[in-house]
Amino acid sequence: MNSKYNEALKELLYKIADDQLIIGHRNSEWTGLGPIIEEDIAFSSIAQDKIGQSRHFYELLHKLGEKNPDIIAFTRSEKDFRCCHLVEYPIGEYDFSLMRNFLFNNSEHIRFQMLCGSSCKELSGLAKKYTGEIKYHIMHADTWVNQLGNADVEANSRMQSALNECWNLALGIFEEGPYLEILREEKIFSGEEELKNSWLEVIIPKLEKASLKIPDTNTWEPSLGGRYGYHTEYLKPLLDEMCEVFRLDPEAEW
Amino acid sequence: MKSLDPRVNRINPDIEGVSNISLENPDEWITYEVFHQKRRGEQHIHVGIVHAPNPEIALILAKESFGRRRQTANIWVVRSSDVYSTSYDDQDIFMTTPEKTYREASDYYCMDRIRKYQKEHGIVNRKELKEAKEPDTK
Protein backbone atom coordinates (compact mmCIF):
# COMPACT_ATOMS: atom_id res chain seq x y z
CA MET A 1 0.00 0.00 0.00
CA ASN A 2 1.59 3.29 -1.03
CA SER A 3 1.89 6.27 1.26
CA LYS A 4 -0.32 8.52 -0.85
CA TYR A 5 -3.17 6.03 -0.47
CA ASN A 6 -2.62 5.99 3.28
CA GLU A 7 -2.59 9.78 3.51
CA ALA A 8 -5.83 10.04 1.57
CA LEU A 9 -7.55 7.42 3.70
CA LYS A 10 -6.36 9.04 6.93
CA GLU A 11 -7.57 12.44 5.79
CA LEU A 12 -11.03 11.02 5.18
CA LEU A 13 -11.09 9.17 8.52
CA TYR A 14 -9.99 12.24 10.47
CA LYS A 15 -12.69 14.33 8.86
CA ILE A 16 -15.44 11.83 9.71
CA ALA A 17 -14.23 11.13 13.25
CA ASP A 18 -13.59 14.77 14.16
CA ASP A 19 -17.08 15.78 13.00
CA GLN A 20 -18.56 13.04 15.19
CA LEU A 21 -16.46 13.79 18.25
CA ILE A 22 -17.13 17.52 18.17
CA ILE A 23 -20.87 17.35 17.48
CA GLY A 24 -21.15 14.60 20.09
CA HIS A 25 -19.37 16.71 22.67
CA ARG A 26 -21.41 19.79 21.77
CA ASN A 27 -24.72 17.96 22.01
CA SER A 28 -23.75 16.44 25.36
CA GLU A 29 -23.95 20.01 26.70
CA TRP A 30 -27.73 19.56 26.61
CA THR A 31 -27.61 16.69 29.10
CA GLY A 32 -29.72 17.67 32.10
CA LEU A 33 -31.12 20.70 30.26
CA GLY A 34 -33.29 19.04 27.62
CA PRO A 35 -36.88 20.27 27.26
CA ILE A 36 -38.39 17.15 28.88
CA ILE A 37 -36.76 14.14 30.46
CA GLU A 38 -37.53 11.70 27.64
CA GLU A 39 -36.03 14.06 25.06
CA ASP A 40 -33.07 14.73 27.33
CA ILE A 41 -32.40 10.97 27.38
CA ALA A 42 -32.81 10.60 23.62
CA PHE A 43 -30.67 13.63 22.74
CA SER A 44 -27.91 12.68 25.19
CA SER A 45 -27.94 9.13 23.94
CA ILE A 46 -27.50 10.30 20.35
CA ALA A 47 -24.60 12.49 21.49
CA GLN A 48 -22.97 9.47 23.13
CA ASP A 49 -23.51 7.41 19.97
CA LYS A 50 -21.53 9.98 17.99
CA ILE A 51 -18.61 9.90 20.40
CA GLY A 52 -18.69 6.09 20.31
CA GLN A 53 -18.59 6.14 16.52
CA SER A 54 -15.64 8.54 16.48
CA ARG A 55 -13.76 6.14 18.75
CA HIS A 56 -13.99 3.38 16.17
CA PHE A 57 -12.70 5.67 13.44
CA TYR A 58 -9.79 6.78 15.67
CA GLU A 59 -9.04 3.10 16.30
CA LEU A 60 -8.88 2.52 12.58
CA LEU A 61 -6.49 5.48 12.31
CA HIS A 62 -4.39 3.92 15.06
CA LYS A 63 -4.14 0.74 12.97
CA LEU A 64 -2.88 2.89 10.11
CA GLY A 65 -0.03 4.13 12.28
CA GLU A 66 -1.53 7.11 14.12
CA LYS A 67 -1.37 7.46 17.91
CA ASN A 68 -3.93 5.74 20.15
CA PRO A 69 -7.53 7.02 20.16
CA ASP A 70 -7.33 8.94 23.45
CA ILE A 71 -4.14 10.72 22.38
CA ILE A 72 -5.66 11.57 19.01
CA ALA A 73 -8.88 12.86 20.55
CA PHE A 74 -7.49 14.80 23.50
CA THR A 75 -4.02 16.07 22.68
CA ARG A 76 -4.17 17.45 19.17
CA SER A 77 -4.22 21.20 18.70
CA GLU A 78 -7.01 23.05 16.94
CA LYS A 79 -5.00 23.19 13.70
CA ASP A 80 -4.89 19.41 13.50
CA PHE A 81 -8.66 18.97 13.66
CA ARG A 82 -10.48 18.37 10.37
CA CYS A 83 -14.07 18.98 11.49
CA CYS A 84 -16.40 21.36 9.65
CA HIS A 85 -17.57 24.65 11.17
CA LEU A 86 -21.18 23.50 11.60
CA VAL A 87 -20.29 21.10 14.44
CA GLU A 88 -18.18 23.68 16.28
CA TYR A 89 -20.90 26.25 16.93
CA PRO A 90 -22.28 26.55 20.47
CA ILE A 91 -25.54 24.73 21.13
CA GLY A 92 -27.56 27.95 21.06
CA GLU A 93 -31.28 27.44 21.56
CA TYR A 94 -32.91 24.06 21.05
CA ASP A 95 -34.11 25.04 17.56
CA PHE A 96 -30.50 25.57 16.43
CA SER A 97 -29.31 22.29 17.92
CA LEU A 98 -32.17 20.33 16.34
CA MET A 99 -31.66 21.93 12.94
CA ARG A 100 -27.92 21.31 13.08
CA ASN A 101 -28.61 17.66 13.89
CA PHE A 102 -31.08 17.42 11.05
CA LEU A 103 -28.64 18.81 8.47
CA PHE A 104 -25.59 16.98 9.80
CA ASN A 105 -27.18 13.59 10.47
CA ASN A 106 -28.79 13.43 7.05
CA SER A 107 -25.41 14.11 5.44
CA GLU A 108 -23.75 11.49 7.64
CA HIS A 109 -26.39 8.93 6.75
CA ILE A 110 -25.72 9.40 3.03
CA ARG A 111 -21.95 9.47 3.56
CA PHE A 112 -22.15 6.12 5.34
CA GLN A 113 -24.37 4.65 2.63
CA MET A 114 -21.70 5.68 0.10
CA LEU A 115 -18.94 4.23 2.30
CA CYS A 116 -20.76 0.88 2.53
CA GLY A 117 -19.45 0.29 -0.99
CA SER A 118 -15.91 1.47 -0.27
CA SER A 119 -12.94 -0.59 -1.49
CA CYS A 120 -11.43 -0.17 1.98
CA LYS A 121 -12.97 -3.14 3.80
CA GLU A 122 -12.42 -1.80 7.32
CA LEU A 123 -14.14 1.43 6.35
CA SER A 124 -17.12 -0.23 4.63
CA GLY A 125 -17.42 -2.52 7.66
CA LEU A 126 -17.67 0.45 10.03
CA ALA A 127 -20.16 2.18 7.74
CA LYS A 128 -22.40 -0.91 7.73
CA LYS A 129 -22.07 -1.34 11.48
CA TYR A 130 -23.42 2.16 12.14
CA THR A 131 -26.19 2.31 9.54
CA GLY A 132 -28.93 1.46 12.07
CA GLU A 133 -27.68 3.87 14.70
CA ILE A 134 -27.57 6.77 12.25
CA LYS A 135 -30.97 5.78 10.85
CA TYR A 136 -32.42 6.45 14.30
CA HIS A 137 -30.51 9.75 14.49
CA ILE A 138 -32.16 11.00 11.31
CA MET A 139 -35.53 9.61 12.39
CA HIS A 140 -35.23 11.67 15.58
CA ALA A 141 -34.15 14.85 13.78
CA ASP A 142 -36.67 14.48 10.93
CA THR A 143 -39.57 13.93 13.33
CA TRP A 144 -38.74 17.00 15.40
CA VAL A 145 -38.15 19.27 12.40
CA ASN A 146 -41.44 18.15 10.89
CA GLN A 147 -43.31 18.58 14.16
CA LEU A 148 -41.97 22.07 14.93
CA GLY A 149 -42.03 23.33 11.34
CA ASN A 150 -45.73 22.51 11.18
CA ALA A 151 -46.62 23.71 14.68
CA ASP A 152 -47.57 27.33 15.44
CA VAL A 153 -46.12 30.52 13.93
CA GLU A 154 -43.49 30.91 16.63
CA ALA A 155 -42.18 27.36 16.22
CA ASN A 156 -42.12 27.63 12.44
CA SER A 157 -40.29 30.98 12.44
CA ARG A 158 -37.76 29.72 14.97
CA MET A 159 -37.03 26.66 12.84
CA GLN A 160 -36.80 28.80 9.71
CA SER A 161 -34.28 31.17 11.39
CA ALA A 162 -32.32 28.18 12.62
CA LEU A 163 -32.23 26.80 9.09
CA ASN A 164 -31.06 30.16 7.71
CA GLU A 165 -28.37 30.35 10.39
CA CYS A 166 -27.17 26.79 9.79
CA TRP A 167 -27.30 26.76 6.03
CA ASN A 168 -23.89 28.09 4.97
CA LEU A 169 -22.28 26.26 7.87
CA ALA A 170 -23.89 23.05 6.66
CA LEU A 171 -22.62 23.62 3.12
CA GLY A 172 -19.15 23.65 4.70
CA ILE A 173 -19.57 19.92 5.49
CA PHE A 174 -18.91 19.29 1.80
CA GLU A 175 -15.60 21.12 1.51
CA GLU A 176 -13.47 18.94 -0.75
CA GLY A 177 -10.23 17.69 0.79
CA PRO A 178 -6.83 17.57 -0.90
CA TYR A 179 -7.04 13.88 -1.93
CA LEU A 180 -10.22 13.74 -4.01
CA GLU A 181 -8.56 12.14 -7.05
CA ILE A 182 -6.89 9.33 -5.22
CA LEU A 183 -10.00 8.62 -3.14
CA ARG A 184 -11.93 8.24 -6.37
CA GLU A 185 -9.27 6.27 -8.23
CA GLU A 186 -8.94 3.81 -5.39
CA LYS A 187 -12.73 3.67 -5.01
CA ILE A 188 -12.52 4.57 -1.34
CA PHE A 189 -15.03 7.42 -1.48
CA SER A 190 -16.60 9.18 -4.45
CA GLY A 191 -16.32 12.72 -3.12
CA GLU A 192 -18.05 15.55 -1.33
CA GLU A 193 -19.77 17.04 -4.39
CA GLU A 194 -21.66 13.82 -5.03
CA LEU A 195 -22.52 13.62 -1.33
CA LYS A 196 -23.80 17.19 -1.33
CA ASN A 197 -26.06 16.58 -4.34
CA SER A 198 -27.60 13.47 -2.77
CA TRP A 199 -28.01 15.37 0.49
CA LEU A 200 -29.91 18.19 -1.22
CA GLU A 201 -32.19 15.66 -2.91
CA VAL A 202 -32.98 14.12 0.45
CA ILE A 203 -33.39 17.16 2.69
CA ILE A 204 -35.27 19.56 0.41
CA PRO A 205 -38.48 17.43 0.30
CA LYS A 206 -38.23 16.85 4.06
CA LEU A 207 -37.93 20.60 4.69
CA GLU A 208 -40.80 21.36 2.32
CA LYS A 209 -42.96 18.87 4.20
CA ALA A 210 -42.01 20.74 7.37
CA SER A 211 -43.10 24.06 5.77
CA LEU A 212 -39.50 25.31 5.72
CA LYS A 213 -37.56 26.84 2.85
CA ILE A 214 -33.86 26.61 2.10
CA PRO A 215 -32.19 30.00 1.44
CA ASP A 216 -31.98 31.26 -2.17
CA THR A 217 -29.06 29.75 -4.08
CA ASN A 218 -27.54 33.19 -4.75
CA THR A 219 -26.97 33.61 -1.01
CA TRP A 220 -25.11 30.31 -0.63
CA GLU A 221 -21.61 30.84 0.74
CA PRO A 222 -20.18 27.63 2.19
CA SER A 223 -18.28 28.17 5.43
CA LEU A 224 -14.94 26.69 4.38
CA GLY A 225 -11.60 25.99 6.02
CA GLY A 226 -12.47 23.36 8.61
CA ARG A 227 -11.16 20.48 6.52
CA TYR A 228 -7.77 22.26 6.31
CA GLY A 229 -7.47 23.17 9.99
CA TYR A 230 -8.94 26.68 9.87
CA HIS A 231 -11.70 26.82 12.45
CA THR A 232 -14.21 29.17 14.01
CA GLU A 233 -13.48 30.92 17.30
CA TYR A 234 -15.67 28.32 19.04
CA LEU A 235 -13.49 25.24 18.57
CA LYS A 236 -10.57 26.24 20.78
CA PRO A 237 -12.64 26.79 23.96
CA LEU A 238 -14.47 23.52 23.30
CA LEU A 239 -11.18 21.62 23.02
CA ASP A 240 -9.79 23.31 26.14
CA GLU A 241 -12.79 22.16 28.12
CA MET A 242 -13.06 18.69 26.58
CA CYS A 243 -9.38 17.91 27.03
CA GLU A 244 -8.83 19.63 30.38
CA VAL A 245 -8.87 16.53 32.57
CA PHE A 246 -7.00 14.27 30.16
CA ARG A 247 -4.20 16.78 29.74
CA LEU A 248 -3.61 16.97 33.50
CA ASP A 249 -1.97 13.57 33.19
CA PRO A 250 -1.98 11.98 29.72
CA GLU A 251 -0.23 8.88 31.13
CA ALA A 252 -2.91 8.18 33.75
CA GLU A 253 -4.62 4.78 33.67
CA TRP A 254 -8.40 5.06 33.57
CA MET B 1 -37.55 27.10 43.51
CA LYS B 2 -34.45 28.57 41.89
CA SER B 3 -32.07 26.05 40.32
CA LEU B 4 -28.46 25.97 41.50
CA ASP B 5 -27.41 25.58 37.88
CA PRO B 6 -27.08 29.11 36.45
CA ARG B 7 -28.07 27.82 32.99
CA VAL B 8 -31.48 26.66 34.17
CA ASN B 9 -34.40 29.06 34.13
CA ARG B 10 -37.42 27.55 35.80
CA ILE B 11 -40.87 29.01 35.41
CA ASN B 12 -41.77 30.89 38.55
CA PRO B 13 -45.51 30.41 39.09
CA ASP B 14 -45.68 33.61 41.15
CA ILE B 15 -44.59 35.95 38.40
CA GLU B 16 -47.15 37.77 36.37
CA GLY B 17 -48.57 36.09 33.33
CA VAL B 18 -47.92 32.51 34.31
CA SER B 19 -50.02 32.41 37.47
CA ASN B 20 -52.81 30.69 35.55
CA ILE B 21 -50.83 27.45 35.29
CA SER B 22 -52.69 24.86 37.31
CA LEU B 23 -51.59 21.39 38.20
CA GLU B 24 -55.12 20.09 37.84
CA ASN B 25 -55.44 21.11 34.23
CA PRO B 26 -51.91 21.40 32.87
CA ASP B 27 -51.33 22.78 29.40
CA GLU B 28 -48.96 19.96 28.62
CA TRP B 29 -48.31 17.02 26.38
CA ILE B 30 -50.22 13.83 26.77
CA THR B 31 -48.92 10.49 27.97
CA TYR B 32 -48.45 7.39 25.88
CA GLU B 33 -48.22 3.87 27.27
CA VAL B 34 -45.19 2.03 25.89
CA PHE B 35 -45.20 -1.67 24.97
CA HIS B 36 -41.93 -3.43 24.26
CA GLN B 37 -41.38 -6.57 22.20
CA LYS B 38 -38.11 -8.42 22.63
CA ARG B 39 -38.26 -10.74 19.63
CA ARG B 40 -40.56 -10.78 16.65
CA GLY B 41 -43.49 -13.08 17.35
CA GLU B 42 -43.37 -12.64 21.12
CA GLN B 43 -45.98 -10.61 22.97
CA HIS B 44 -45.54 -6.88 23.59
CA ILE B 45 -45.10 -6.12 27.28
CA HIS B 46 -46.05 -2.87 28.98
CA VAL B 47 -42.89 -1.10 30.21
CA GLY B 48 -43.89 2.46 31.11
CA ILE B 49 -44.97 5.80 29.68
CA VAL B 50 -43.55 8.74 27.72
CA HIS B 51 -44.82 12.30 27.30
CA ALA B 52 -45.30 13.49 23.75
CA PRO B 53 -47.49 15.73 21.61
CA ASN B 54 -48.21 13.00 19.03
CA PRO B 55 -47.55 9.30 18.29
CA GLU B 56 -44.50 9.96 16.06
CA ILE B 57 -42.65 11.85 18.80
CA ALA B 58 -43.83 9.27 21.34
CA LEU B 59 -42.17 6.52 19.27
CA ILE B 60 -38.78 8.24 18.91
CA LEU B 61 -38.73 9.02 22.63
CA ALA B 62 -39.86 5.52 23.63
CA LYS B 63 -37.09 4.01 21.52
CA GLU B 64 -34.38 5.62 23.65
CA SER B 65 -36.19 5.45 26.99
CA PHE B 66 -37.11 1.77 26.76
CA GLY B 67 -35.21 0.22 23.86
CA ARG B 68 -31.62 1.28 24.30
CA ARG B 69 -30.55 -1.13 27.02
CA ARG B 70 -32.34 -4.32 26.04
CA GLN B 71 -32.88 -6.40 22.98
CA THR B 72 -35.75 -4.90 21.02
CA ALA B 73 -37.64 -5.96 17.92
CA ASN B 74 -40.58 -3.58 18.06
CA ILE B 75 -42.27 -0.89 20.14
CA TRP B 76 -45.94 0.15 20.40
CA VAL B 77 -47.24 3.37 21.85
CA VAL B 78 -50.88 3.83 22.84
CA ARG B 79 -52.46 7.03 24.10
CA SER B 80 -53.04 6.51 27.83
CA SER B 81 -56.56 7.89 27.53
CA ASP B 82 -57.37 5.13 25.03
CA VAL B 83 -56.76 2.45 27.63
CA TYR B 84 -59.89 1.29 29.42
CA SER B 85 -59.50 -0.36 32.76
CA THR B 86 -61.44 -1.96 35.57
CA SER B 87 -61.72 -0.08 38.84
CA TYR B 88 -59.69 -1.05 41.90
CA ASP B 89 -62.93 -0.68 43.83
CA ASP B 90 -64.12 -3.70 41.89
CA GLN B 91 -61.03 -5.78 42.58
CA ASP B 92 -63.24 -8.33 44.36
CA ILE B 93 -64.60 -9.48 40.99
CA PHE B 94 -61.36 -11.44 40.56
CA MET B 95 -61.73 -13.37 43.82
CA THR B 96 -62.44 -17.07 43.20
CA THR B 97 -64.15 -18.99 45.97
CA PRO B 98 -62.45 -22.30 46.90
CA GLU B 99 -65.76 -24.13 46.45
CA LYS B 100 -65.61 -23.72 42.69
CA THR B 101 -63.04 -26.43 41.90
CA TYR B 102 -65.63 -28.14 39.70
CA ARG B 103 -64.79 -25.37 37.22
CA GLU B 104 -61.18 -26.48 37.01
CA ALA B 105 -59.88 -29.45 35.04
CA SER B 106 -57.85 -30.77 37.98
CA ASP B 107 -61.07 -31.55 39.81
CA TYR B 108 -62.08 -34.24 37.36
CA TYR B 109 -60.92 -37.83 37.99
CA CYS B 110 -61.63 -39.80 34.87
CA MET B 111 -58.58 -41.88 33.98
CA ASP B 112 -60.25 -45.04 35.40
CA ARG B 113 -63.17 -44.53 33.04
CA ILE B 114 -60.87 -43.87 30.09
CA ARG B 115 -58.90 -47.07 30.80
CA LYS B 116 -62.13 -49.07 31.11
CA TYR B 117 -63.31 -47.75 27.76
CA GLN B 118 -59.96 -48.55 26.11
CA LYS B 119 -60.01 -52.09 27.50
CA GLU B 120 -63.55 -52.74 26.34
CA HIS B 121 -62.73 -51.56 22.86
CA GLY B 122 -59.31 -53.16 22.62
CA ILE B 123 -57.57 -49.79 22.41
CA VAL B 124 -53.99 -49.97 23.52
CA ASN B 125 -52.79 -46.76 25.15
CA ARG B 126 -50.02 -44.81 23.51
CA LYS B 127 -47.25 -45.98 25.78
CA GLU B 128 -48.08 -49.67 25.32
CA LEU B 129 -48.37 -49.19 21.58
CA LYS B 130 -44.86 -47.77 21.47
CA GLU B 131 -43.45 -50.64 23.51
CA ALA B 132 -45.17 -53.13 21.22
CA LYS B 133 -43.48 -51.60 18.18
CA GLU B 134 -40.03 -51.56 19.77
CA PRO B 135 -39.81 -54.82 21.69
CA ASP B 136 -37.26 -55.03 24.45
CA THR B 137 -34.25 -56.74 22.89
CA LYS B 138 -32.62 -57.74 26.17
Tell me whether residues A36 and B60 touch, CB distance under 8 A: no
pLDDT at B95: 82
Residue environment code for B37-69, b if the CB has 16+ CB neighbours within 10 A, otherwise e: beeeeeeeeeeebbbbeeebbbbbbbbbbbbee
% chain A with pLDDT above 70: 100
Strand partners, B77: B34
Q: Torsions phi, psi of A164, nearest 5?
A: -60, -40
For residue A102, how many C-alpha atoms fall within 13 Å in the half-sphere facing its CB?
Answer: 29
Residue of B nearest to A36 (CA): B51
Closest-approach residue (CA) in chain A for B62: A38
| Distance from the A13 Cα atom to the nearest Cα atom in chain B, whole angstroms | 27
Strand order in the sheet with B45-52: B45-52, B30-37, B74-79
**How high is the pLDDT of residue A179?**
95
Instruction: Delimit the domains of chain A by residue range.
Output: 3-248
Which class in CATH covers the domain with range A3-248?
A: mainly alpha
Q: Determine contact, residues A199/A106, Cβ cutoff 8 Å.
A: yes
Can you list the domains of chain B with their CATH numbers? 30-82 (3.10.20.520)
On the question of pLDDT at A116 being above 60, the answer is yes
Question: What pLDDT score does B46 carry?
Answer: 97
pTM: 0.82
How far is Cα B81 from Cα A54, in angstroms, rounded to an integer?
42
pLDDT cut 90: percent of chain A above it: 92
Task: Between B126 and A243, name the one with better pLDDT.
Answer: A243
Q: What is the rounded CA–CA span in Å between residue A36 and residue A55?
A: 29
Per-residue pLDDT band at A228 (split at 50, 70, 90): very high
Whether the pLDDT of residue B84 is over 90: the answer is yes
Least confident of A77-86, A126-135, B20-29, B33-42: B20-29
Most confidently predicted of A36-45, B101-110, B124-133 = A36-45
A89 touches chain B (CB under 8 A): no
Helices A192-209 and A94-115, axial angle in degrees (round to 10)? 130
Asked if A116 is an interface residue toward chain B (Cβ–Cβ < 8 A), one would say no
Tell me which chain B residue has its CA closest to the CA of residue A133.
B68
d(CA A67, CA B60): 37
Cβ–Cβ of A139/B29 closer than 8 Å?
no
Residues of A in contact with B29 (CB under 8 A): 36
Kindly state the average pLDDT of the residues B86-96.
88
User: CB distance from A41 to chain B under 8 Å?
Assistant: yes
What is the pLDDT confidence band of residue A182, given thresholds at 50, 70 and 90? very high
Q: Which residue did the predictor score with more confidence, B4 or A213?
A: A213
Distances (CA, A) of A31 to A12, A44, B7: 30, 6, 12
CA distance B133 to chain A (A): 55
